Amino acid sequence: MLTADFDLLEIKPGSRVLDVGCGEGRHALSAYLKPGVDVVGVDLGIQDLQTAAARIGDLSEYDPQGRILFGCADALCLPFADESFDVVICSEVLEHIPNYIAAIAELSRVTKPGGHLCITVPRAWPERICWWLDSQYSKTPGGHIRIFTTSDLRREVERYDLRYERGHGAHALHTLYWWLRCWRAPNADHSRLVRSYHRLLVWDLMARPRITRALERALNPWLGKSVALYFRRCNRDIQPSPCGVSS
């Protein structure tokens, strides 16, 4: 289930792709399937990284012809030289980070001039409903500590030599699922309604019927659970790295 649209990132043979906060590797592994692409996925969750690495072998039959590596790293202090990557993806990460401004600076630093950065975050108004339905939603360890409006996040990112190009919504059908989970919290995992809707989402993900794909496309612009913002690195002005990594 991808939030970033790879068609908008110009990933091509020879591209170097970084997935920051990669989790179990959904974006990194999908980028690896592109012919001749080198991919690095980083995260702080060791178990998620192990799961992502274990999935590499499942893709061998597709003969990706590139390379992929997963490792532990902090978004506030990326262990890469300046201007190292053609494409940088940071999906559903910034809402978890207290000092998200430092993370944005690092994302900009490692992106090559002319390269692409995709940031995705939860859409503001569905997220506010989650916070309203479940008083513990924003207090769960590792959970969402911030709600971004698209305009505010775009303005912050553009301070770092990144030019906004386009944006879109994603995963509209998942919005209701999270509202149901928050409504039924803390017993959501035992709710028949929540489990039934989850099965529907899994079926939709695997079967991808035309009717639900068309419905989600129609709803994404205003009901999408996430928004994806796409930027291009403008010039060679490098922001100082907080961890002393430079080219």
Q: What is the CATH number of the domain that holds 53?
A: 3.40.50.150
Does 34 fall in a domain?
A: yes
Residue 238 confidence (pLDDT) = 58
Alpha helix (H) residue ranges in 15-120: 26-32, 46-54, 100-110
Residue 60 confidence (pLDDT) = 83
Distance CA 203, CA 188 (A): 20
Does 105 fall in a domain?
A: yes
The domain containing residue 144 runs over which residues?
6-123+138-171+224-233
Provide the domain count of the chain. Answer: 1
Q: Can you tell me the mean pLDDT for 41-62?
A: 94
Q: What is the pTM of this model?
A: 0.93
Does 55 fall in a domain?
A: yes
Of 60-69, 80-89, 148-157, 180-189, give the lowest mean pLDDT range: 60-69
Distance CA 194, CA 125 (A): 21
Q: What is the pLDDT of residues 78-132, one digit of tens each?
A: 999 999 999 999 999 999 999 999 999 999 999 999 999 999 999 999 999 999 9
Does 46 fall in a domain?
A: yes
Does 238 fall in a domain?
A: no
Does 128 fall in a domain?
A: no
User: In this model, does residue 243 exceed pLDDT 80?
Assistant: no
User: In this model, does residue 237 exceed pLDDT 60?
Assistant: no
Residue 245 confidence (pLDDT) = 63
Q: What is the pLDDT of residues 57-91, one digit of tens each?
A: 998 888 888 999 999 999 999 999 999 999 999 99
Does 63 fall in a domain?
A: yes
Does 239 fall in a domain?
A: no
